[in-house]
Amino acid sequence: MTAQVVGDLEISPQQIMLRRSDKAGETSSQYLRIAAGRVKEFTIKSVVTPVDSVTAEITPRGKNDYLVRLSNMPLDGTLEGKELVIQTDIPNHPEIKLPFVVSKMPAVPAGANRPVRVGPTGQVPTGIRRPAEQPVPPAKPPAPPVPPAAPAN
């Protein structure tokens, strides 16, 4: 069973997840959906980004339903711990804050992305293993043939 408590607005996602990159200047884009919850009518006045390079484009999808596109989000960790602020005309919630979460993926084990040469039959040649493979024990030799039974007299 799952349950969801609906607040004044339905915001999806409720935090902005980014994957950190060590490549200089790499950026990402992401969409947020903001729709009516308990409050049936509202307007998004503006979206305030924590970094000047990040842009927010608000697109109405229908009455009380918006799509917000965040662009140029740096993936260098700059946004970690910062918040996006959505300004509305809702009297008891004029600002809604969404956190940025920047995660660093674990390093890839050495050799994990190494290409493996495949023989002409499509098989990995003997003595060459893919990095994740375990050695395969040698096959048992086939059982010797059973001699034919002697004819009965």
| 12, β-bridge pairs | 33
Report how far residue 37's alpha carbon sits from residue 64's, in angstroms, rounded to the nearest whole number.
9
The residue among 44, 60, 55, 54 whose CA lies nearest residue 96 is 44
Question: What is the value of pTM for the model shown?
Answer: 0.64
Please write the tens of the pLDDT for every residue from 100-123.
Answer: 999 987 655 655 555 555 555 555
Query: What confidence tier does 53 reach under pLDDT thresholds 50, 70, 90?
Result: very high
Predicted pLDDT of residue 22: 86
Residue 150 φ/ψ, nearest 5 degrees = -70, 140
Predicted pLDDT of residue 49: 96
| 31, β-bridge pairs | 69
Report how far residue 147's alpha carbon sits from residue 63's, in angstroms, rounded to the nearest whole number.
86
By CB atoms closer than 10 A (0-12, 13-18, 19+), residue 99 is middle
Report how far residue 19's alpha carbon sits from residue 53's, in angstroms, rounded to the nearest whole number.
18
- In the CATH scheme, what is the code of domain 24-98? 2.60.40.10
Predicted pLDDT of residue 88: 94
